[in-house]
């Protein structure tokens, strides 16, 4: 990204564009901007390959603004983007860069909003149209001439558009634009499907490839934690206790997982929401806005729902489910550490996924350090630190406003200042555990599989607790046709083997000899059950309670 001289001013862009860009706080063009802008200005077709966060938008927006004829009030540039969010982001960026170019009109065209106003905005003289392919095709069906004046075509995040199934729509759009156009294609990856589009629809394209992986990654502090699949949510909750984050995005693979994790986080008092393809477009947009302005701190998203989103507040990326390939790992963690900020990325790895971790390390050329699950002491310290931080500003002021009340209360209650303060603290902290013994009692042990190989979840004092040792004992081999199921109820919930046996016999309708060994640990229990008909049995036991608590029996996979 560095260069000796010139910066934006040396790029042959109109001074008003340069001024607007500098006014937004950009100092120097990024590598992709540096290389693409001259090529696009010169009128060449181009294929640009660069990771998320490298500044691709300005790489095409600036030269296009430079080229359009503001006096002509007709569509001249068409930008295609995979999702409504990205289309809006690109349209907003155009408006920012065009701040000092009066007469430039940008319209965003996407599904989920009425078509009429969009079409009117196009006809009313928008020179720049930013669209999702699906909705644009709907417009073309109504008015096949709507793109007949377009001279510049940009496919932004082309790989993502293909993943979303826009191939056919793209073909329709190519056909609706004059063949004399200039075409620019940006993509993070260049699979053969993209190369074949380029061969058919671009003319002698220049290639620009930015090897940004190591750059993207070095600003980000990365770590991984080995954990069993059924322990991910408790692991995330524990990690969050000690991570100091501003905003966080957690990636999972399925829609259901976005909902499950978001619900678990909300239950713990985090301002969290799910973001997935099933959520209505305008609701998705609200979620993103809320994350931007702090009404939300955590968004749990699938890759497609989060792709390309740019929220500078994001300090942390949690890869709760493993990405499908190393490139999408790089994309995901590129959501943090934006614009030179520091970021932190955490990756949960289940036993089966160990190899993928190695692939990621190889491709990014970096070791992803192993994180430890914080122990009770670390959790306690973090809680006290937060409490201290929340009190610090009050200590400076509250005496003036509440000092008299304090005197009156100590007098009325006939207690010491320390006794009253302690009472107020208990009230203010709302039952949160703030001493080591209670934190220890409250934190479920999260058995990690690194745990069984090495010493695993250690307490912060560096030694294994008695309890921990007992919990980590390797499970016994299973009999044929049996599987192990796990419940988070254990001895500390007042559970004994006979309670579990009774509940499963009564509510599950099993014969006594269908149930194998039952192992009750302090914070969980394992029960051996017949594999045959297991799903049905677990459904039957869905609402079963033992010792007043939900049994929530789940299949336990040891891998």
For Mg ion, which is the closer residue by CB, 56 or 484? Answer: 56
Q: Is 53 in the site for ligand ADP (CB under 6 A)?
A: yes
Cα 191-195-199 angle, rounded to 5 deg: 170
**Could you tell me the smallest distance in angstroms from the CB atom of residue 423 to ligand ADP?**
48
Cα separation, 76 vs 97, whole angstroms: 17
Per CB under 6 A, the list member of 99, 338, 467, 555 interacting with ligand ADP is: 338
Lay out the site mask for ligand ADP across 294-313 (x = CB under 6 A, - = otherwise): --------------x-x---
For 53, 117, 166, 183, 338, the CA distances from 2, given in Å and listed in that order, are: 16, 43, 36, 28, 17
- The first and second tokens of residue 393, run together, are 């500003």
Q: Is 57 in the site for ligand ADP (CB under 6 A)?
A: yes
Contact present, 182 and 40 (Cβ < 8 Å): yes
Q: Looking at 225-233, 267-275, 300-308, 485-493, which segment touches Mg ion (CB under 5 A)? A: 300-308
Partner that binds at residue 552, options ligand ADP, Mg ion, none, CB closer than 5 to 8 Å by kind: none
Which helix H or strand E contains 306, and what residues bound it? Answer: helix 303-306
Residue reference for tokens 């993070």: 188
**Which residues, 6 or more positions from 352, have their beta carbon under 8 angstroms from its beta carbon?**
559
For ligand ADP, which is the closer residue by CB, 55 or 468? Answer: 55
**Could you tell me the smallest distance in angstroms from the CB atom of residue 269 to ligand ADP?**
30
Q: Looking at 53-61, 241-249, 336-344, 377-385, which segment touches Mg ion (CB under 5 A)? A: 53-61
Q: 82 phi and psi, to 5 degrees?
A: -70, -35
Contact present, 508 and 487 (Cβ < 8 Å): no
DSSP SS3 for 110: coil
For 400, 485, 504, 515, the CA distances from 481, given in Å and listed in that order, are: 71, 13, 18, 11
For ligand ADP, which is the closer residue by CB, 57 or 456? Answer: 57
**Could you tell me the smallest distance in angstroms from the CB atom of residue 108 to ligand ADP?**
15
CA neighbours closer than 13 Å in the CB half-sphere of residue 121: 17
Q: Is 29 in the site for ligand ADP (CB under 6 A)?
A: yes
Per CB under 5 A, the list member of 46, 48, 56, 201 interacting with Mg ion is: 56
Per CB under 6 A, the list member of 11, 13, 17, 26 interacting with ligand ADP is: 26
**Could you tell me the smallest distance in angstroms from the CB atom of residue 36 to Mg ion?**
13
Cα separation, 171 vs 150, whole angstroms: 15
CA neighbours closer than 13 Å in the CB half-sphere of residue 552: 9
For Mg ion, which is the closer residue by CB, 16 or 189? Answer: 189
Q: 92 phi and psi, to 5 degrees?
A: -65, -40
Q: 488 phi and psi, to 5 degrees?
A: -85, 5
Q: Is 30 in the site for ligand ADP (CB under 6 A)?
A: yes
**Could you tell me the smallest distance in angstroms from the CB atom of residue 72 to ligand ADP?**
26
Contact present, 91 and 97 (Cβ < 8 Å): no
Cα separation, 531 vs 536, whole angstroms: 10
Contact present, 358 and 329 (Cβ < 8 Å): no
Q: Looking at 28-36, 69-77, 123-131, 365-373, which segment touches ligand ADP (CB under 6 A)? A: 28-36
Which helix H or strand E contains 79, and what residues bound it? Answer: strand 77-80
- The 3-class SS string of 175-219 reads HHCCCCCEEEEEECCCCHHHHHHHHHHCCCCEEEECCCHHHHHHC
For ligand ADP, which is the closer residue by CB, 57 or 328? Answer: 57
For ligand ADP, which is the closer residue by CB, 50 or 194? Answer: 50
Lay out the site mask for ligand ADP across 251-290 (x = CB under 6 A, - = otherwise): ----------------------------------------
**Could you tell me the smallest distance in angstroms from the CB atom of residue 306 to Mg ion?**
13
Q: Looking at 51-59, 399-407, 499-507, 544-552, which segment touches ligand ADP (CB under 6 A)? A: 51-59
What is 465-513 written as a DSSP string?
Answer: -HHHHHHHSPPPPPPTTEEEEEES--GGGT--HHHHHHHHHHHH---GG
For ligand ADP, which is the closer residue by CB, 33 or 302? Answer: 33
**Could you tell me the smallest distance in angstroms from the CB atom of residue 214 to ligand ADP?**
16
Which letter does DSSP use for residue 11 in this model?
A: G
299 has which bridge partners? 249, 273
**Could you tell me the smallest distance in angstroms from the CB atom of residue 494 to ligand ADP?**
53
Query: b/e for 402-427, b at 16 or more Cβ within 10 A?
Result: eeeeeeeebeeeeeeeeebeeeeeee
Partner that binds at residue 82, options ligand ADP, Mg ion, none, CB closer than 5 to 8 Å by kind: none
Q: Looking at 48-56, 283-291, 441-449, 506-514, which segment touches Mg ion (CB under 5 A)? A: 48-56
Per CB under 6 A, the list member of 58, 220, 288, 296 interacting with ligand ADP is: 58
Pairing verdict, β 545-546 and 549-550: antiparallel
Q: Is 55 in the site for ligand ADP (CB under 6 A)?
A: yes
Partner that binds at residue 53, options ligand ADP, Mg ion, none, CB closer than 5 to 8 Å by kind: ligand ADP
For ligand ADP, which is the closer residue by CB, 154 or 538? Answer: 154
Helices (H) and strands (E) in the chain, counts: 23, 20
Q: Looking at 26-34, 100-108, 221-229, 399-407, which segment touches ligand ADP (CB under 6 A)? A: 26-34
Lay out the site mask for ligand ADP across 339-378 (x = CB under 6 A, - = otherwise): x---------------------------------------
Extract the runs of DSSP E, i.e. beta strands, from 364-456.
369-370
Q: Is 439 in the site for ligand ADP (CB under 6 A)?
A: no
For ligand ADP, which is the closer residue by CB, 308 or 376? Answer: 308
CB atoms within 10 A of CB 280: 9
Residues that bind Mg ion (CB under 5 A): 56, 308
Residues that bind ligand ADP (CB under 6 A): 26, 28-30, 33, 50, 52-58, 308, 310, 338-339
């Amino acid at each position: 990204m560095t260069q000796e001289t010139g910066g934006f001013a040396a790029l042959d862009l109109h001074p008003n564009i340069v001024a607007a860009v500098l006014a937004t706080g950009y100092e120097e063009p990024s590598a992709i901007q540096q290389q693409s802008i001259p090529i696009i200005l010169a009128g060449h077709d181009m294929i640009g390959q660069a990771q998320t966060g490298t500044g691709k938008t300005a790489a095409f927006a600036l030269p296009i603004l430079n080229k359009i004829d503001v006096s002509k009030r007709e569509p001249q540039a068409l930008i295609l983007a995979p999702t409504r969010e990205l289309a809006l982001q690109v349209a907003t960026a155009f408006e920012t860069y065009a701040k000092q170019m009066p007469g430039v009109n940008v319209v965003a065209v996407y599904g989920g909003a009425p078509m009429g106003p969009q079409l009117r905005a196009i006809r009313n003289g928008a020179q720049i149209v930013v669209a999702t392919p699906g909705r644009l095709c709907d417009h073309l069906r109504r008015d096949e001439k709507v793109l007949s004046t377009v001279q510049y075509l940009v496919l932004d995040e082309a790989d993502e558009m293909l993943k979303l199934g826009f191939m056919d729509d793209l073909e329709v759009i190519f056909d609706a634009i004059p063949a004399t156009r200039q075409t620019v294609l940006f993509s993070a990856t260049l699979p053969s499907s993209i190369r074949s589009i380029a061969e058919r629809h671009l003319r002698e394209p220049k290639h620009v490839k930015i090897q940004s992986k190591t750059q993207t990654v070095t600003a980000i502090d990365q770590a991984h934690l080995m954990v069993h699949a059924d322990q991910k949510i408790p692991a995330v909750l524990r990690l969050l206790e000690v991570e100091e984050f501003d905003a966080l995005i957690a990636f999972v693979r399925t829609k259901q997982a976005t909902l499950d994790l978001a619900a678990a986080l909300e239950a713990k008092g985090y301002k969290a929401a799910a973001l997935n393809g099933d959520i209505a477009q305008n609701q998705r947009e609200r979620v993103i806005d809320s994350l931007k302005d702090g009404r939300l701190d955590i968004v749990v998203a699938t890759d497609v729902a989060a792709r390309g989103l740019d929220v500078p507040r994001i300090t942390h990326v949690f890869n709760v489910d493993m990405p499908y390939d190393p490139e999408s790992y790089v994309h995901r963690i590129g959501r943090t550490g934006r614009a030179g900020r520091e970021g932190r990325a955490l990756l949960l790895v289940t036993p089966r996924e160990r190899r993928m971790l190695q692939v990621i390390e190889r491709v990014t050329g970096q070791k992803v350090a192993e994180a430890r699950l914080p122990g009770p002491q670390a959790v306690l310290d973090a809680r006290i630190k937060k409490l201290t931080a929340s009190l610090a500003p009050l200590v400076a002021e509250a005496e003036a406003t509440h000092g008299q009340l304090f005197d009156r209360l100590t007098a009325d209650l006939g207690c010491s200042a320390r006794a009253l303060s302690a009472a107020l603290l208990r009230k203010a902290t709302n039952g949160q555990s703030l001493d080591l013994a209670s934190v220890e009692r409250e934190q479920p042990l999260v058995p990690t599989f690194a745990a069984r190989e090495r010493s695993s979840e250690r307490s912060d004092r560096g030694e294994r607790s008695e309890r921990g040792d007992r919990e980590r004992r390797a499970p016994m081999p299973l009999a044929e046709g049996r599987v192990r199921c796990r419940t988070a109820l254990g001895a500390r919930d007042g559970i004994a083997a006979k309670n579990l046996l009774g509940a499963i016999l009564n509510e599950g309708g099993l014969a006594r000899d269908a149930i194998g060994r039952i192992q009750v640990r302090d914070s969980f229990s394992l029960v051996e059950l017949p594999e045959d008909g297991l799903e049905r049995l677990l459904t039957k036991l869905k609402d079963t309670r033992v010792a007043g608590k939900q049994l929530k029996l789940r299949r336990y996979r040891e891998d």
